[in-house]
């Protein structure tokens, strides 16, 4: 369908170009000759550009605005089961599933032969399936918000205890000093956590399937992902599994890759640096 549209638009542009080229050759008016030749050559270049840009021309002609809207739908929808995403493309309905590969080994604790084995095994993992698949290694920012909140609660608790102690038993210096020490410890911990970012690495595989409807596409993609997960588990000796829900979103959505709480911290630190 897309190829047919490409060729149709290409033929239209080239026909206009040829028509004006003929006009250039038969015209006796010099101004018209120049004008016709420019139009003919313009459509000739435009015709060639349809080789790559037809997908932009049609929305551009339709909208007749400066901004081209290729789609104003969501990029994808999460399937009801939460383990695949659904993409409604101009061609049809697709579903994509993601297999997480938990790899925890570091090369620093491997011998030369183990490193070679890992490299070779990974090379073989790439050839596990005949399907078109994507292997990705993603470094993402860890969401430390929950941890920070816990430490903040403890800090608040200690500071309340200190306040109570200062009003009820101001003479008990030993207890007061211990509480002050605890408070300083929590404050230092918070400042340490906030001053540096923590990143984590995740490796995953992605596979897509086409279907007549969302259910069919989703079920085929899930089956393919299960096969790949089994193959990877056997080859690498890990338990590969299909990602679901938020875990899945963290593999594709930038706002899950960089949690909003951390973003605020990044922006705050950037502002401080710029201020300095």
Partner 1 sequence: MDEQTVMYLGVSAITPFVLLVSASSLGPLGIIIDVFALIAVALILMLNYADFLIFPAVTKLLGIKIQLSKEHYCLKEQNAILKYTGGIYYATGYLTANIYNYVFNAESSNPNSDDDQISLAPEKWERILMNVDFPFKFNVITDAKDVQKYREDLEGERGFLEFQLSRESNSSNPNQMTLTELERKINVTQAKIDKMSSGELPLNTIMYIETTAVGISEKDAVDSLTNQLNRLETVFHTFDVNILRVVGREIHTLYKLNYLLYEPQLIEKLFNHQK
Pairwise CA distance, residues 100 & 120, whole Å = 20
DSSP string, 153-180: HHHHHHHHHHHHHHHH-TT-HHHHHHHH
Nearer to partner 1, 133 or 233 (CB): 133
Smallest distance, partner 1 to C-beta of residue 240, A: 16
Nearer to partner 1, 136 or 184 (CB): 136
Q: What binding mask, one character per residue, do residues 238-257 give for partner 1 by CB under 8 A, x or -?
A: --------------x-xx-x
Number of residues that bind partner 1 (CB under 8 A): 83
Under rule CB under 8 A, residue 67 binds partner 1: yes
Smallest distance, partner 1 to C-beta of residue 97, A: 11
Smallest distance, partner 1 to C-beta of residue 130, A: 4
Smallest distance, partner 1 to C-beta of residue 101, A: 13
Site for partner 1 in 208-237 (CB under 8 A): 208
Task: Let me know: does 147 contact 259? Beta carbons within 8 Å.
Answer: no
Q: What is the DSSP letter of 213?
A: S
Pairwise CA distance, residues 72 & 66, whole Å = 15
Pairwise CA distance, residues 48 & 13, whole Å = 9
Pairwise CA distance, residues 16 & 13, whole Å = 5
Structure tokens of 73? Answer: 């739908």
Site for partner 1 in 149-208 (CB under 8 A): 197, 199, 201, 206-208
Site for partner 1 in 71-90 (CB under 8 A): 71-76, 85, 87, 89
Pairwise CA distance, residues 217 & 92, whole Å = 10
Under rule CB under 8 A, residue 66 binds partner 1: yes
Site for partner 1 in 86-125 (CB under 8 A): 87, 89, 94, 96, 106-108, 110, 112, 115-116, 118-120, 123-124
Q: What residue ranges in 91-212 does DSSP mark as E strands?
A: 93-101, 133-141, 199-211
Smallest distance, partner 1 to C-beta of residue 167, A: 42
């Amino acid at each position: 369908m897309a190829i047919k549209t490409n060729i149709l638009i290409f033929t239209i542009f080239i026909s206009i170009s040829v028509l004006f080229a003929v006009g250039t050759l038969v015209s006796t008016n010099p101004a018209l000759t120049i004008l016709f030749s420019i139009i003919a050559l313009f459509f000739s270049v435009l015709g060639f550009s349809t080789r790559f840009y037809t997908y932009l021309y049609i929305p551009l002609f339709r909208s007749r605005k400066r901004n081209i809207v290729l789609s104003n739908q969501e990029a994808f929808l999460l399937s009801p089961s939460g383990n695949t995403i659904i993409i409604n493309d101009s061609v049809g309905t697709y579903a994509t599933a993601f297999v997480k590969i938990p790899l925890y080994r570091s090369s620093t604790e491997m011998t030369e032969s183990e490193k070679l084995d890992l490299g070779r095994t990974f090379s073989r993992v790439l050839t596990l399936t005949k399907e078109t698949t994507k292997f990705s290694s993603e470094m993402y920012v860890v969401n430390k918000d929950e941890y920070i909140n816990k430490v903040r609660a403890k800090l608040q608790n200690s500071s309340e205890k200190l306040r109570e102690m200062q009003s009820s038993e101001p003479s008990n210096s030993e207890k007061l000093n211990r509480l002050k020490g605890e408070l300083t410890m929590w404050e230092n911990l918070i400042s340490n956590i906030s001053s540096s970012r923590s990143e984590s690495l995740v490796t995953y595989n992605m596979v897509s399937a086409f279907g007549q409807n969302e259910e069919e596409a989703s079920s085929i993609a899930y089956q393919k992902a299960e096969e790949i997960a089994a193959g990877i588990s056997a080859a690498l000796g890990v338990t590969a599994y299909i990602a679901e829900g938020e875990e899945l979103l963290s593999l594709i959505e930038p706002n899950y890759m960089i949690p909003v709480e951390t973003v605020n911290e990044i922006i705050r630190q950037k502002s401080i640096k710029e201020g300095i």
